[in-house]
Amino acid sequence: MKKLALTLLVPLTAFSALAQNKKTVKKTSPASKTAAVAIKNGLDSASYAFGTSMAANLKNNGLDHLNYDLFVKGLKDAFGDKALLLPKEKSQAAINNLFVEASKKKFAPAIAEGKAFLENNKKVAGIKTTPSGLQYQVLQAGSGAKPLATDTVLVHYKGTLLNGKQFDSSYDRKEPISFPLNRVIPGWTEGVQLMEQGSKYKFFIPYNLAYGERGAGQDIPPYSTLIFEVELLKINGK
């Protein structure tokens, strides 16, 4: 979750009073209207800028509104050193939950696409599905040992999105990669343990076993279902 600078968004609404009789409507006198907000000094400018900056950041992260009354109360309580309505832990949890829900809403098409793909893919001959939802296909059987989660493995691999776009490949770099199996995404940790040394598998990894709600850089969007071809070359140098 990206850290957002806390800023202030305070919408102001002008009120007018209307009174109507059977035939005519009285006009509101200018004196009864709320005066327009004016920027008069540096503090005014910064205060308004805080609001616009926060709104832009929140919108970029999927939010489109807040409870403004409680938001302003929170600011005033914090600035005034008053007793807070929520403790720090609950406040952070509330913020995190709101962003997760907003993110799911924003990326709902990607979530739906991944779910539909996996539902159809599990019906394909040769595709196996584990209790976690990981799907795999044996492209080439091996005859060696199987790694443990605590092992270091040497592999060749390539990864693609559902649309076929490749985001990484050790084959293209012409160099396999070695890493501890418990230091990678859950789909890899689980999947590679199914492999025998010398085998080659194709993994279909749901977003919750991949990079989840965050994605990974610009190449892997949030909530992406990923496809990997993995070739297990060695286990701890065995």
Of the candidates 134, 156, 60, which has an alpha carbon nearest to the alpha carbon of residue 103?
60
Is 211 catalytic? The answer is yes
Q: Report pLDDT for 62.
A: 82
Q: Report pLDDT for 144.
A: 86
Q: Report pLDDT for 100.
A: 86
Side-chain-side CA neighbours of residue 68 (13 Å) = 11
Helical pair 108-121 and 88-106, crossing angle rounded to 10 deg: 70
Is 167 catalytic? The answer is yes
Of the candidates 43, 58, 42, which has an alpha carbon nearest to the alpha carbon of residue 9?
58
Whether residue 30 is predicted with pLDDT greater than 90 in this model: the reply is no
164-198: per-residue pLDDT in tens?
999 999 999 999 999 999 999 999 999 999 999 99
What is the average pLDDT across 30-45?
75
What is the average pLDDT across 196-220?
95
Selecting among 71, 117, 167, 171, the annotated active-site residue is 167
Is 168 catalytic? The answer is yes
Alpha-helix residue ranges (DSSP H) falling in 34-185: 42-60, 68-79, 88-106, 108-121, 170-173
d(CA 145, CA 179): 17
What is the average pLDDT across 32-38?
65
What is the average pLDDT across 119-125?
97
What is the average pLDDT across 108-130?
97
Selecting among 99, 204, 223, 228, the annotated active-site residue is 228
Is 157 catalytic? The answer is yes
d(CA 121, CA 143): 27
pTM for the structure as a whole: 0.72
45-103: per-residue pLDDT in tens?
999 999 999 989 998 888 889 999 999 999 999 999 999 999 999 999 999 999 888 88
